[in-house]
Amino acid sequence: MLKPLLEIRLKQILRAQKGLHWYHYIIFGGLLLYLVIWLYNLLLQRNSAIVVAATSLLPILALQMHRNDKRFVSHLSHFPYLIFWVEYTLLLSPLLLLYTFTASWFLICPVILALLPISNFGLELPKPRKAIPLVFIADACFEWKAGVRKNKWLLCILYVAAFALCLYPFGSLLILWFSTAIISTFYQRCEPVNLLTVPEKGAKAFLYYKLKANLKQFMVLTLPLLLLYSLLHPDHMVPALVFYPLLLLVLVSSILAKYAYYEPNNTVSSAASFLNSIDILSPLLPFLLLFPLISSIRNYKKAVHRLNLYLHDFN
Protein backbone atom coordinates (compact mmCIF):
# COMPACT_ATOMS: atom_id res chain seq x y z
CA MET A 1 0.00 0.00 0.00
CA LEU A 2 2.88 2.32 0.80
CA LYS A 3 4.42 2.13 -2.67
CA PRO A 4 1.33 3.24 -4.65
CA LEU A 5 0.71 6.06 -2.18
CA LEU A 6 4.27 7.31 -2.49
CA GLU A 7 3.95 7.09 -6.28
CA ILE A 8 0.85 9.27 -6.04
CA ARG A 9 2.81 11.79 -3.93
CA LEU A 10 5.57 11.83 -6.56
CA LYS A 11 3.02 12.43 -9.31
CA GLN A 12 1.48 15.23 -7.24
CA ILE A 13 4.91 16.87 -6.88
CA LEU A 14 5.55 16.58 -10.62
CA ARG A 15 2.07 17.98 -11.37
CA ALA A 16 2.72 20.88 -9.00
CA GLN A 17 5.75 21.90 -11.09
CA LYS A 18 3.66 22.42 -14.20
CA GLY A 19 3.60 26.06 -15.19
CA LEU A 20 7.07 26.83 -13.85
CA HIS A 21 9.63 28.20 -16.27
CA TRP A 22 13.38 27.47 -16.42
CA TYR A 23 14.24 30.74 -14.71
CA HIS A 24 12.02 29.77 -11.77
CA TYR A 25 14.17 26.66 -11.31
CA ILE A 26 17.30 28.82 -11.30
CA ILE A 27 15.78 31.11 -8.63
CA PHE A 28 14.67 28.12 -6.57
CA GLY A 29 18.02 26.41 -7.02
CA GLY A 30 19.82 29.53 -5.76
CA LEU A 31 17.37 29.90 -2.91
CA LEU A 32 17.73 26.28 -1.92
CA LEU A 33 21.52 26.48 -1.96
CA TYR A 34 21.39 29.60 0.19
CA LEU A 35 19.04 27.89 2.65
CA VAL A 36 21.16 24.75 2.83
CA ILE A 37 24.33 26.74 3.56
CA TRP A 38 22.52 28.91 6.12
CA LEU A 39 20.96 25.88 7.79
CA TYR A 40 24.23 23.95 7.80
CA ASN A 41 25.99 26.82 9.57
CA LEU A 42 23.15 26.94 12.05
CA LEU A 43 23.36 23.21 12.72
CA LEU A 44 27.05 23.46 13.55
CA GLN A 45 26.09 25.07 16.88
CA ARG A 46 24.67 22.56 19.34
CA ASN A 47 21.89 24.78 20.74
CA SER A 48 20.73 25.93 17.31
CA ALA A 49 20.70 22.32 16.11
CA ILE A 50 18.33 21.39 18.96
CA VAL A 51 16.06 24.37 18.23
CA VAL A 52 15.97 23.52 14.51
CA ALA A 53 15.14 19.87 15.27
CA ALA A 54 12.26 20.88 17.55
CA THR A 55 11.02 23.58 15.14
CA SER A 56 11.06 21.18 12.19
CA LEU A 57 8.40 19.12 13.96
CA LEU A 58 5.94 22.04 14.13
CA PRO A 59 5.09 22.21 10.41
CA ILE A 60 4.76 18.42 10.40
CA LEU A 61 2.31 18.65 13.31
CA ALA A 62 0.37 21.36 11.47
CA LEU A 63 0.33 19.17 8.35
CA GLN A 64 -0.97 16.18 10.30
CA MET A 65 -3.67 18.29 11.94
CA HIS A 66 -4.93 19.70 8.67
CA ARG A 67 -4.53 16.94 6.12
CA ASN A 68 -7.90 15.76 4.87
CA ASP A 69 -6.87 12.34 3.56
CA LYS A 70 -6.54 10.73 7.01
CA ARG A 71 -9.82 8.86 6.73
CA PHE A 72 -9.00 7.81 3.16
CA VAL A 73 -5.61 6.40 4.18
CA SER A 74 -7.15 4.67 7.20
CA HIS A 75 -9.54 2.86 4.82
CA LEU A 76 -6.59 1.66 2.74
CA SER A 77 -4.36 0.45 5.54
CA HIS A 78 -4.70 -1.02 9.02
CA PHE A 79 -1.66 1.03 10.05
CA PRO A 80 -2.25 4.47 8.54
CA TYR A 81 0.07 6.13 11.04
CA LEU A 82 2.99 4.12 9.63
CA ILE A 83 2.25 5.51 6.17
CA PHE A 84 2.16 9.05 7.58
CA TRP A 85 5.36 8.37 9.50
CA VAL A 86 7.22 7.26 6.35
CA GLU A 87 5.89 10.28 4.46
CA TYR A 88 7.00 12.69 7.18
CA THR A 89 10.40 11.04 7.50
CA LEU A 90 10.88 11.40 3.75
CA LEU A 91 9.74 15.01 3.96
CA LEU A 92 12.34 15.76 6.63
CA SER A 93 15.04 13.64 5.01
CA PRO A 94 16.93 16.61 3.46
CA LEU A 95 17.23 18.18 6.90
CA LEU A 96 18.14 14.86 8.50
CA LEU A 97 20.79 14.38 5.85
CA LEU A 98 22.31 17.75 6.80
CA TYR A 99 22.48 16.59 10.42
CA THR A 100 24.68 13.64 9.42
CA PHE A 101 27.43 16.10 8.47
CA THR A 102 27.40 17.82 11.84
CA ALA A 103 28.32 16.94 15.41
CA SER A 104 24.61 16.96 16.28
CA TRP A 105 23.89 13.86 14.15
CA PHE A 106 22.50 12.10 17.25
CA LEU A 107 19.38 14.32 16.98
CA ILE A 108 18.23 12.36 13.91
CA CYS A 109 16.96 9.51 16.05
CA PRO A 110 14.77 11.61 18.43
CA VAL A 111 13.32 13.54 15.49
CA ILE A 112 12.32 10.34 13.69
CA LEU A 113 10.89 8.93 16.93
CA ALA A 114 8.97 12.14 17.62
CA LEU A 115 7.34 11.76 14.21
CA LEU A 116 5.65 8.56 15.43
CA PRO A 117 3.22 10.19 17.92
CA ILE A 118 2.68 13.07 15.48
CA SER A 119 1.72 10.57 12.76
CA ASN A 120 -0.82 9.06 15.11
CA PHE A 121 -2.23 12.40 16.15
CA GLY A 122 -5.87 13.29 15.56
CA LEU A 123 -6.79 10.40 13.34
CA GLU A 124 -10.45 10.88 14.22
CA LEU A 125 -10.64 14.60 14.83
CA PRO A 126 -14.33 15.55 14.90
CA LYS A 127 -15.35 18.23 12.44
CA PRO A 128 -16.52 21.36 14.24
CA ARG A 129 -20.08 22.54 13.62
CA LYS A 130 -20.24 25.72 15.65
CA ALA A 131 -17.84 28.43 14.65
CA ILE A 132 -16.17 30.92 16.93
CA PRO A 133 -17.52 34.41 16.18
CA LEU A 134 -14.76 36.62 14.78
CA VAL A 135 -16.11 40.10 15.42
CA PHE A 136 -12.70 41.72 14.92
CA ILE A 137 -12.67 40.65 11.27
CA ALA A 138 -14.64 42.69 8.72
CA ASP A 139 -17.53 40.91 6.96
CA ALA A 140 -15.92 41.46 3.55
CA CYS A 141 -12.73 39.62 4.60
CA PHE A 142 -14.18 36.12 4.42
CA GLU A 143 -10.74 34.67 3.59
CA TRP A 144 -9.54 35.92 6.98
CA LYS A 145 -12.50 34.37 8.79
CA ALA A 146 -11.88 31.00 7.16
CA GLY A 147 -8.10 31.22 7.56
CA VAL A 148 -8.14 32.35 11.19
CA ARG A 149 -10.51 29.49 12.08
CA LYS A 150 -8.26 27.01 10.32
CA ASN A 151 -5.10 28.21 12.08
CA LYS A 152 -6.67 29.59 15.25
CA TRP A 153 -4.31 28.04 17.79
CA LEU A 154 -1.14 28.73 15.86
CA LEU A 155 -2.15 32.34 15.17
CA CYS A 156 -3.20 32.89 18.79
CA ILE A 157 0.14 31.62 20.05
CA LEU A 158 2.02 33.71 17.51
CA TYR A 159 0.05 36.85 18.32
CA VAL A 160 0.66 36.53 22.07
CA ALA A 161 4.29 35.59 21.49
CA ALA A 162 4.77 38.59 19.19
CA PHE A 163 3.68 40.96 21.98
CA ALA A 164 5.66 39.06 24.60
CA LEU A 165 8.82 39.18 22.48
CA CYS A 166 8.55 42.93 21.98
CA LEU A 167 11.07 43.29 24.77
CA TYR A 168 13.71 41.54 22.70
CA PRO A 169 15.18 42.96 19.49
CA PHE A 170 13.74 41.62 16.22
CA GLY A 171 11.80 38.74 17.88
CA SER A 172 8.40 40.33 17.22
CA LEU A 173 9.35 41.25 13.67
CA LEU A 174 10.30 37.67 12.91
CA ILE A 175 6.98 36.42 14.29
CA LEU A 176 5.17 39.12 12.31
CA TRP A 177 6.84 37.83 9.16
CA PHE A 178 5.89 34.23 10.00
CA SER A 179 2.28 35.30 10.68
CA THR A 180 2.22 37.14 7.34
CA ALA A 181 3.39 33.94 5.68
CA ILE A 182 0.43 32.11 7.24
CA ILE A 183 -1.97 34.92 6.32
CA SER A 184 -0.82 34.79 2.71
CA THR A 185 -2.02 31.17 2.59
CA PHE A 186 -5.56 32.48 3.24
CA TYR A 187 -5.67 33.50 -0.42
CA GLN A 188 -5.05 30.08 -1.89
CA ARG A 189 -8.69 29.15 -2.29
CA CYS A 190 -10.84 30.89 -4.91
CA GLU A 191 -14.37 31.91 -4.03
CA PRO A 192 -17.40 30.97 -6.17
CA VAL A 193 -18.45 33.46 -8.83
CA ASN A 194 -21.50 34.64 -6.87
CA LEU A 195 -19.18 35.99 -4.15
CA LEU A 196 -16.96 37.59 -6.77
CA THR A 197 -19.87 39.54 -8.23
CA VAL A 198 -21.29 40.67 -4.86
CA PRO A 199 -19.43 44.03 -4.77
CA GLU A 200 -20.72 44.70 -8.33
CA LYS A 201 -17.43 46.24 -9.43
CA GLY A 202 -15.36 45.99 -12.59
CA ALA A 203 -12.01 44.14 -12.44
CA LYS A 204 -9.82 47.12 -11.48
CA ALA A 205 -12.28 48.52 -8.95
CA PHE A 206 -12.76 45.05 -7.49
CA LEU A 207 -9.02 44.57 -6.98
CA TYR A 208 -8.75 47.99 -5.34
CA TYR A 209 -11.68 47.14 -3.04
CA LYS A 210 -10.20 43.75 -2.18
CA LEU A 211 -6.70 45.09 -1.48
CA LYS A 212 -8.08 47.96 0.59
CA ALA A 213 -10.27 45.72 2.77
CA ASN A 214 -7.60 43.09 3.35
CA LEU A 215 -4.69 45.48 3.99
CA LYS A 216 -6.89 47.43 6.41
CA GLN A 217 -7.66 44.20 8.25
CA PHE A 218 -3.96 43.33 8.44
CA MET A 219 -3.03 46.79 9.67
CA VAL A 220 -5.75 46.88 12.33
CA LEU A 221 -4.30 43.70 13.85
CA THR A 222 -0.58 44.35 13.39
CA LEU A 223 -0.02 48.10 13.74
CA PRO A 224 -0.43 48.04 17.56
CA LEU A 225 2.37 45.49 17.66
CA LEU A 226 4.59 47.61 15.43
CA LEU A 227 3.90 50.68 17.56
CA LEU A 228 4.75 48.88 20.78
CA TYR A 229 7.93 47.49 19.25
CA SER A 230 8.97 50.92 17.99
CA LEU A 231 8.33 52.43 21.42
CA LEU A 232 10.39 49.78 23.20
CA HIS A 233 13.17 49.85 20.59
CA PRO A 234 13.34 53.40 19.22
CA ASP A 235 16.73 52.60 17.65
CA HIS A 236 15.02 49.89 15.55
CA MET A 237 12.23 52.15 14.35
CA VAL A 238 13.73 52.69 10.89
CA PRO A 239 14.35 48.99 10.11
CA ALA A 240 10.86 48.20 11.45
CA LEU A 241 9.31 50.87 9.24
CA VAL A 242 11.14 49.45 6.22
CA PHE A 243 10.22 45.88 7.09
CA TYR A 244 6.49 46.56 7.57
CA PRO A 245 5.76 47.82 4.02
CA LEU A 246 7.57 44.74 2.74
CA LEU A 247 5.08 42.58 4.64
CA LEU A 248 2.23 44.60 3.14
CA LEU A 249 3.74 44.01 -0.28
CA VAL A 250 3.83 40.26 0.39
CA LEU A 251 0.13 40.40 1.24
CA VAL A 252 -0.63 42.43 -1.90
CA SER A 253 1.22 39.93 -4.08
CA SER A 254 -0.65 37.00 -2.45
CA ILE A 255 -4.06 38.62 -3.09
CA LEU A 256 -3.16 39.51 -6.68
CA ALA A 257 -1.78 36.01 -7.32
CA LYS A 258 -5.14 34.55 -6.28
CA TYR A 259 -7.02 36.62 -8.85
CA ALA A 260 -4.35 36.30 -11.53
CA TYR A 261 -4.95 32.54 -11.48
CA TYR A 262 -8.60 32.69 -10.42
CA GLU A 263 -10.61 29.52 -11.07
CA PRO A 264 -14.04 29.53 -9.38
CA ASN A 265 -14.28 27.07 -6.47
CA ASN A 266 -10.71 25.84 -6.94
CA THR A 267 -7.43 26.37 -5.19
CA VAL A 268 -4.75 28.51 -6.79
CA SER A 269 -2.39 26.38 -8.89
CA SER A 270 0.58 24.84 -7.12
CA ALA A 271 2.98 26.66 -9.43
CA ALA A 272 1.43 30.02 -8.47
CA SER A 273 1.64 29.12 -4.77
CA PHE A 274 5.24 28.08 -5.29
CA LEU A 275 6.07 31.47 -6.81
CA ASN A 276 4.24 33.20 -4.01
CA SER A 277 6.52 31.47 -1.53
CA ILE A 278 9.45 33.46 -3.00
CA ASP A 279 7.51 36.66 -2.30
CA ILE A 280 6.98 35.50 1.27
CA LEU A 281 10.70 34.90 1.76
CA SER A 282 11.67 38.26 0.27
CA PRO A 283 11.51 40.40 3.45
CA LEU A 284 14.16 38.13 5.00
CA LEU A 285 16.43 37.77 1.97
CA PRO A 286 17.70 41.10 0.62
CA PHE A 287 18.49 39.74 -2.87
CA LEU A 288 14.79 38.91 -3.32
CA LEU A 289 13.50 42.33 -2.25
CA LEU A 290 12.27 43.32 -5.69
CA PHE A 291 10.55 40.02 -6.35
CA PRO A 292 7.14 40.74 -4.73
CA LEU A 293 7.04 44.15 -6.43
CA ILE A 294 7.68 42.62 -9.85
CA SER A 295 5.23 39.76 -9.29
CA SER A 296 2.58 42.19 -7.97
CA ILE A 297 2.79 44.30 -11.13
CA ARG A 298 2.73 41.17 -13.29
CA ASN A 299 -0.11 39.58 -11.35
CA TYR A 300 -2.14 42.80 -11.32
CA LYS A 301 -2.21 42.83 -15.13
CA LYS A 302 -3.03 39.12 -15.22
CA ALA A 303 -5.73 39.51 -12.56
CA VAL A 304 -7.45 42.36 -14.43
CA HIS A 305 -7.48 40.24 -17.58
CA ARG A 306 -8.71 37.15 -15.72
CA LEU A 307 -11.41 38.95 -13.74
CA ASN A 308 -12.72 40.71 -16.82
CA LEU A 309 -14.12 37.34 -17.87
CA TYR A 310 -16.45 37.44 -14.87
CA LEU A 311 -16.81 41.14 -14.09
CA HIS A 312 -16.87 42.88 -17.46
CA ASP A 313 -20.58 43.63 -17.01
CA PHE A 314 -19.72 45.91 -14.08
CA ASN A 315 -17.08 47.97 -15.91
Partner 1 sequence: MISIKNLNVEQKGKVILQHLTGQFEQGQVHGIVGLNGAGKTTFLNSLYGFIKPTAGEITYQEKKLSKKYISYLETSNYFYAGITGGEYLKLFCKATEKHKEWNKLFLLPLNNLIESYSTGMKKKLALMGVLLQNKPILLLDEPFNGLDLESMWVVKRIISDIKHTKTILLTSHILETLTDNCDFIHRLEHKKINQVYAKEDFKQFQELLYQELHEKTALQ
The site for partner 1 (CB under 8 A) is made up of 127-131, 133, 139-140, 142-143, 145-147, 149-150, 189, 191-195, 197-198, 200, 264-265, 311, 313-314
Per DSSP, 170 falls in state: T
Shortest spacing between CB 68 and partner 1, in angstroms: 10
Of 55 and 265, which CB lies nearer to partner 1 in the complex structure?
265
Burial 265-289 (b: 16+ CB within 10 A, else e): eeebbbbbbebbebbbbbbeeeebe
Shortest spacing between CB 127 and partner 1, in angstroms: 7
Of 28 and 191, which CB lies nearer to partner 1 in the complex structure?
191
Contact partners, residue 179, CB within 8 Å, separation at least 6: 155, 158, 159, 162, 222
What span, in angstroms and rounded, lies between the C-alpha atoms of 85 and 306? 41
Shortest spacing between CB 286 and partner 1, in angstroms: 35
Shortest spacing between CB 140 and partner 1, in angstroms: 7
Distance of CA 252 to the CA centre of its chain: 14
What are the CB-based long-range contacts (under 8 Å, 24+) for 159-166?
159/221, 162/225, 163/225, 163/228, 166/225, 166/228, 166/229, 166/232
Of 139 and 235, which CB lies nearer to partner 1 in the complex structure?
139
What span, in angstroms and rounded, lies between the C-alpha atoms of 285 and 24? 17
Of 150 and 236, which CB lies nearer to partner 1 in the complex structure?
150
Of 4 and 128, which CB lies nearer to partner 1 in the complex structure?
128
Distance of CA 95 to the CA centre of its chain: 19
Shortest spacing between CB 142 and partner 1, in angstroms: 5
